[in-house]
Structure formats: C-alpha cells, structure tokens
Structure 1
C-alpha cells in the first residue's frame, strides 16, 4: 500500500478522530442531548456557509442533475439522504452518551466492530457476498463480543448500538451516489437540525454561558467534524473505499490506548484478550488487501527465450 497524499489524508482524518475524547470528556457535565443539539446546529450552519461561499458551482451542477433523473430515482435520493441524516444523528447522540456516561472503552469497541457489523448488514440488506475468510473474521468478532459481555454487558450493549447506527448509515449511503457526498452530508445535517429544533426548547438545558463550552464546541465542530470529513472526502478521490476502511481502525485503537494510559480505566485480562481477538478478526477480514497474492504465470504465459 503505497503512501501518497490520499493515504496521508485518510490516515490524518482517523488519527484526528481518535483524539475526539479530548474535546468531549471536558463536557461530561453537560447533558448529552445539549452537546448533540449544538454540534448539529453549529455543524449545519458551518457546512451551509462552506457550500454557499466555496461550492456554488457544485450545488448548481447537482441540482441540475437531480432535475434530470426519473421521479422514482429522485424519491430514492431523497429517502436515502434524509434517512442517512437520522442514522448519523442517532450515532452521534449514542456515541456522546457512551463516551461521557459509560466508558471510553465502550466507545472504542464500537468502532472496532463497526466494519464487521457494516459487512453483515450489507450482506443481508444489499446482498453483498462475503469470502470464506471474511465469514471467519465475523465469527471471531462475534466470539470476542460474547467474551466482552461477561461482567461488561453494559459496555458491549452500548458498543453494539453505536456500531449499528453508524453501520446503518454507511449501508444506507452506499446506494446514494447521485449527489456530491459533501452536499449530501450538508443536507443531512440541515434535515437533522430541523428535526431536532422543535425538541430543543423542551429537552435542552439552560443555554451555556461558560466560554469553556463554546471553546470545546468549536473544537468539536471544526477539528472533529468538518476538517476530518474534508480529509476523508479528499482521500476517497484518490484511493478506494476498502483502503480507507482499513484506516478506520486507527480511531478505536487510539481510544483504547487513551482509556488505559490517559483516563486510567480498568481493563481486565479478558477484555485485553477480547480486543486482541477483534484485531485478529480485522487482519483476517482484510487479508486480501493486507497480503495480496502474487499472480502465478501459467505455463503458456511463461516467456520463452529464443
């Protein structure tokens, strides 16, 4: 896997996301819903400004394309885009809650098993095929989750919910290819903001007045939402999604290390063994990409010296 600017962008995006807890944990005294409200509202406003100021031609081109596709396809684009917004905002809320009220361990586990959960959903919902080695990886991952459920049922329960919501988002967006990805994400955030807006007066706490809150919210919106998404989208211009998929494991591995060495969370030997099994399942699942076979020449293809 040759390192270039696209691989570097993907690596940097997930590396930055790995330190999300640094901006999220200081806000643990604020309700998870409040953090979700402000993250969605501020992110939506920021992304609208980016599109209006820097991407007018892209918006115009996408609108003209949308008008030319058949009505049935238009309906599919609308449903996939808005449904993706619901899954994405659900994932954000559960992740914030897990990070601040369950454990960093549970949050890191969620994104370790997310690619496996995504693959299983894609197999049943999109009829995508799995190789023998990929099925073995899925079984290893399931077994590790069973081990983690012993005496840690809460962690595995919330991890699976977090992984499932993001997996459903990814699966739902695999067929949503008629619009520019960044524009689709902007529409999803606008839709999510509009859905959340009626609930804000009743379910939000008092409006934060501490500069600390807005300082960390600035970090969350720009450095842990907008910038990594830009890097991710840029990376997908030059490398395929499977290559980017491997990079996603940078995020939970950093989370897991922070949980042990920075947040001093207790980790049992069973948990360590289970995480090791998940890492093994990751290698097995991506064995074709990590260990490409050399093509063997058949006798008729062997060059003959004359």
Structure 2
C-alpha cells in the first residue's frame, strides 16, 4: 500500500486539475467551441480513451439487461446531462461561482439517496441542508435574478448539473460493486455520448478547426486528458486505499484552487460577499457530510 503522503498528494493533484479546469475551459468557450459542441468532442474523445484502456487491462461482461439499463441512466445523469449543463453554465458564469456551487454536490447526493430510500436524514444533516441551501440562494441571487444578464442562469445550470451528478453517484454505486471500474465507466461514457450527440453535433459541425491556435489545442487536450480521463483514473486508484468520504472531502479545496487560478490568469475579481456566501455553503456541506 502506498504511503499517506502519496495518496494525499494524488488527491491534491486531482483537485488542482479540477481547479484549473474551470478557467481553462472558459478560454476555449465560446471563442472557439460552443459549450455543447465542446462537450460532444470531450465525451467522444474520453470514451475512445476508456475503451482503448479497457482493451489493454481487460474488462467484464455485463450480466443482465437491468445492468445495461442502469448504465444507460448513469450515462444520462452522470455524463450527458451533467456535462452539458456544466459547460453551458460555466460559459454563462465565472470560474469562482461555478466551483463554489459545485461544492453543494454532497447535499444533492443526500437528497437523492434519501428519495431513493438509500439513506436516512438526521437532524444534523437537515440543519446542514438548510444552511447550504441558504448559502447557495444568496450566491445565486447576489447579482439579482435575471436570465439575460449577470451570472444567475449560469450558476443555476451548474446547480442543476450538481443535482444530476448526485443522481449518478447513487445509481452507479451497485454497478461499481459488481464490475471493474473501467467496465462501468466505458459503458457510462458510451451511453452518455450517444445521448449528448444530438444536442452538440450542430455546434461541433460549425467549428472552424483551422483557426484554432496551438495554445487553445493544448487547453482542449487538458480538458480531455487531464480533467476527464486522468482524474477519473486517479480517483479510482485512491479509492482502493481510502474511503470515499476522504476523497469527497477534497471538493472543499476546489473553490480555493479555482479562485487562485481565475484571479491569476483571467483577472477575475473576488468580492467579500462571494467569500461570505461560500463559507456558508461549505459549513452546510460539512454538516451534511458528517456521519
């Protein structure tokens, strides 16, 4: 078993990649690729990589139609809906808001798990949900409620994206216990790509690939290889040695890294209210995450 320093260094590296992803993706969208077109390209490329890897490492045979149905639903919520809404939302908001709102994921997971009868809700979790919801509401409405200006619509789409990913996390759990991780993820990405294809193919078909500079190609490669393919494999590797709650706790660092990167490379501004509402959200998520 690798040492604690190796495991935590890996988790820190994954979180740093996520932090960079918010800003890197903003450089690509919408100047060179529209959000839905970018997602189709991202999913298709990652799917190819996962299937190539599975051909090398070996894979399981899916045992029943029910499992294929679950894989399809995982592709719908965990890849297609999740990523389409995330990139569309990110194109309409800033990396700082996006990264903070994504930390509400554990709250969404709790709600979905409770609705499906997978988890009970304690008093502490209820208080955490209320605090987190208040923080999210304050952050969403900080610049007013408007679908045509400000960051409200983008923030809202990222919040819905977090809910979709929460459904995926609950649905995928029995599959991960039954099959190899690479088996699950290759099918999830394949189904997700099929679902997302009609939404992004028109945007992808209008891309002028000849005018994309080398720098932007490097950004696109970062999103596909580092922020999609690599981080998943590293997270799966760490889960062999530590529990999922430890891995999930690193989500608290995402806004820190995303903010530092956004301020340093995009010149984004960090105001006092954003910091205050972010702390409220994180307090709520912390209470929800407690056993």
Is the structural similarity TM-score above 0.5?
Answer: yes
Q: Output the CA distance in 2 between the equivalents of 1:223 and 1:24.
A: 12
Q: Cα–Cα, structure 1 residues 130 and 21, in superposed 2: closer, same or farther, change >3 Å?
A: same
Normalization by structure 2: what TM-score? 0.84
Contact 1:25 1:100 (8 Å CA) reproduced: yes
**Equivalent residue number for residue 39 of structure 1:** 42
Deviation of residue 279 (structure 1)?
A: 2.1
Contact 1:113 1:278 (8 Å CA) reproduced: yes
Give matches, 1:114-129, under 5 Å. Answer: 114-129=105-120
Task: Identify the match of residue 135 of structure 1 among 101, 114, 126.
Answer: 126
**Equivalent residue number for residue 263 of structure 1:** 266
RMSD of Structure 2 on Structure 1 (CA): 2.4
> Which structure is larger by alpha-carbon Rg, 1 or 2?
1
Q: Output the CA distance in 2 between the equivalents of 1:103 and 1:97.
A: 12
Are 2:12 and 1:11 aligned? Answer: yes
Deviation of residue 149 (structure 1)?
A: 3.5
Deviation of residue 235 (structure 1)?
A: 0.6
Normalization by structure 1: what TM-score? 0.80
**Equivalent residue number for residue 180 of structure 1:** 180
Q: Output the CA distance in 1 between the equivalents of 2:52 and 2:279.
A: 43
Deviation of residue 267 (structure 1)?
A: 4.5
- Which stretch of structure 1 is more off in the superposition, 260-269 or 209-218? 260-269
Task: Identify the match of residue 69 of structure 2 among 67, 75, 79.
Answer: 79
Cα deviation 1:91-147 (Å, max 9, x = unaligned): 112211222232223311231111111111111123301332222111110111232
Q: Describe the SS at the equivalent of 2:41.
A: helix
Q: Cα–Cα, structure 1 residues 135 and 197, in superposed 2: closer, same or farther, change >3 Å?
A: closer
Q: Output the CA distance in 2 between the equivalents of 1:197 and 1:276.
A: 37
Deviation of residue 27 (structure 1)?
A: 0.6
Task: Identify the match of residue 144 of structure 1 among 135, 143, 154.
Answer: 135
**Equivalent residue number for residue 304 of structure 1:** none
Deviation of residue 231 (structure 1)?
A: 0.6
Task: Identify the match of residue 50 of structure 1 among 48, 53, 56.
Answer: 53
Q: Cα–Cα, structure 1 residues 173 and 261, in superposed 2: closer, same or farther, change >3 Å?
A: same
Q: Cα–Cα, structure 1 residues 26 and 270, in superposed 2: closer, same or farther, change >3 Å?
A: closer
Aligned residues: 274
Q: Output the CA distance in 1 between the equivalents of 2:182 and 2:213.
A: 30
Are 2:99 and 1:100 aligned? Answer: no
Contact 1:39 1:221 (8 Å CA) reproduced: yes
